[in-house]
Chain A
Amino acid sequence: MGVKIKSMKYSDFLDNESLELFKKTGGSVMLTTIDDVIDWGRSNSIWPLTFATSCCGIEMMATGASRHDFARFGIEVYRASPRQADVIVVAGTIVNKMAPVLKRLYDQMSEPKYVIAMGACAVSGGPFFYNTYHVVRGVDHVIPVDVYIPGCPPRPEALLYGVMQLQRKIKLETIGRSEKDKKLVNQ
């Protein structure tokens, strides 16, 4: 049996691959790359920033609470300071007055840092898209976004799925310089 989600295989949910590998081979020594170890560690302890502007924040709280329990995915400790956080879940509308604050929060976070845009407002401006003078139409105008979660507000399950997608993304990272970094250095 397994969780059935279209476009995501059950094997992708197995986050502790090294243990499974041990079980399969029966050995006691395992060779791996530094990349794999670091990515495994990073992807399984993502600390989010306590950042919520509106309704989606309540669903984020519900995800962290008893029933849905964020902690199963290692996204456990809500940090109040951006300097200790790995991921910023932009939960709620970002209006023009808030945008510089969000940018500063993002800049204060230490690398590696990730952004999840949670809810219709953070993705595109949501219900406040038309006939308005105040809303940032999508938080990606201000900071780069890794995962988009649609919904108004998204269900806690949707947020969990989004976090899993982020974990998959982290697992593909390398500590070597990426092409993007090289470009930045050359400039």
Chain B
Amino acid sequence: MKEVVNLPVDSIEREEYHINMGPQHPSTHGVLRLVVTLQGEIVKKVQPHCGYIHRGIEKMCEKDTYQQIIHLTDRMDYLSAHINNHAVCLLVEGALQVEVPERVVYIRTILDELNRIASHQLWWSSFGMDLGGLTCFFYGLRDREKILDIFEESFGSRLLHSYYLPGGLMQDIHPNFQNRVKEFIKYNRRKIKDYDRILSGNIIFLERSQDVGVMSKELAINYGVNGPSGRGSGWACDIRKKYPYAAYEKVEFNEVLRTEGDTYARYMVRMQEIRESMNIIEQLIDNIPEGDFSVKMKPIIKLPAGEYYQRVESARGELGVYCISDGNKTPFRMKFRTPSFVNLGVLDTISREMKIADLVAIGASLDLVIPDIDR
């Protein structure tokens, strides 16, 4: 009798079994499906299944003109919409060798950094929520609304802006823009101390994040994991430093690096990046030059035949846009190298031999945006 009772428990500990995490699961941040192979509570293997939000953006780009492509890139990585737009705009401007006014360059850089802060704040909120700290969710989204207010005042939208166009901006910024950004920076510097007080030093959080999902520098380079996740492993891969675009050459900022490579290091890199972004904005906000907000472009843009590649640093890592043009008004082929897709690749390797609860923490620390994976 005793043996019969013990048998199932033993077999669970000895045998491997599979669990489907997703596609509808709150902590996968969307519709990612992970087939997790478990032995007891230990993760043996993680197989991500993509495509539950495949929207064929690359294929749709082949039918659209270059101005129309902008609004599709918004919807790829919706948390850093400005930065996605920036990549396509830089690609078109580079191919046509258009010089955009200095004012546009400055405004774009400021907005990119504001978007990066908003993205990291939302990441911080959901990361805290995944690990059981619901307060983070309310704090993070409360402060994110301040940035969205600034966006809304200048160009009317909260999340998906489509504000950049090849050759400049859709319209000029609101006269209040500079004052409100300065107010926000002052406000956020105070609030970010709260963030640290709530989560960064919390013993429960430290227990759950330190030495969890350790990724060595070699591993990060092998898998191409860049952005804040890669910098948590000590890989200096910031596109803003390596291949400067926009106004990043004119500002001084540090590339945030940590060497531990665990979940906590990736967390700290992002927290520090919020501060660095605020530094960048502070250097630029008072020096926005006067001038036009766009240059006159032809209504139908035709890129010369050839191949083009443009990379920018999005909130998740390197966003690359690869475009083949055959001289028509639509591209022949458009390929996006999206950071989330590349970062997902390493999830299996770094979460092996961890507990299944740690898988949630590791997945959240990679900051995956699922439509960015599936495109």
Residue numbers of A with Cβ under 8 A of B are 50-55, 57-59, 61-62, 65-67, 78, 80, 82, 92-93, 95, 97-98, 101, 105, 127-128, 130-135, 152-153, 155
Q: Which residues of B contact A152 (CB under 8 A)?
A: 160
Residue numbers of B with Cβ under 8 A of A are 23-26, 30-31, 51-56, 59-60, 63, 71-72, 75, 78-79, 122, 125-126, 137-139, 141-142, 144-145, 148, 158-160, 370-371
Q: Which residues of A contact B25 (CB under 8 A)?
A: 80
Closest to A51 in B: B24
Closest to B63 in A: A131
A53 near B30: Cβ-Cβ < 8 Å? yes
A97 near B51: Cβ-Cβ < 8 Å? yes
Closest to B64 in A: A131
Q: Which residues of A contact B71 (CB under 8 A)?
A: 127
B138 near A134: Cβ-Cβ < 8 Å? no
Closest to A128 in B: B55
Question: In the docked arrangement, what's the CA distance between A78 and B129, Å?
Answer: 13
Q: Which residues of B contact A132 (CB under 8 A)?
A: 55-56, 59-60
Q: How far is the CB of A135 from chain B (nearest CB, A)?
A: 7
Closest to A78 in B: B26
Q: Which residues of B contact A54 (CB under 8 A)?
A: 30, 53, 55, 75, 78, 370-371
Question: In the docked arrangement, what's the CA distance between A52 and B30, Å?
Answer: 6
A153 near B138: Cβ-Cβ < 8 Å? no
A155 near B158: Cβ-Cβ < 8 Å? yes
Q: Which residues of B contact A127 (CB under 8 A)?
A: 71-72, 75
Question: In the docked arrangement, what's the CA distance between A50 and B160, Å?
Answer: 22
Question: In the docked arrangement, what's the CA distance between A59 and B122, Å?
Answer: 11
Q: Which residues of A contact B158 (CB under 8 A)?
A: 59, 62, 153, 155
Given known pairs A65-B141, A92-B53, A105-B24, the reply for A98 and B31 (CB within 8 Å) is: yes
B53 near A95: Cβ-Cβ < 8 Å? yes
Q: Which residues of A contact B72 (CB under 8 A)?
A: 127
Question: In the docked arrangement, what's the CA distance between A92 and B29, Å?
Answer: 13
Question: In the docked arrangement, what's the CA distance between A55 and B159, Å?
Answer: 8
25 contacts between A and B (CB under 8 A): A50-B26, A55-B78, A55-B159, A55-B371, A61-B126, A62-B141, A66-B145, A67-B141, A67-B145, A93-B55, A95-B55, A97-B54, A98-B31, A101-B23, A101-B31, A101-B52, A127-B71, A128-B56, A131-B60, A134-B56, A135-B56, A152-B160, A153-B158, A153-B159, A153-B160
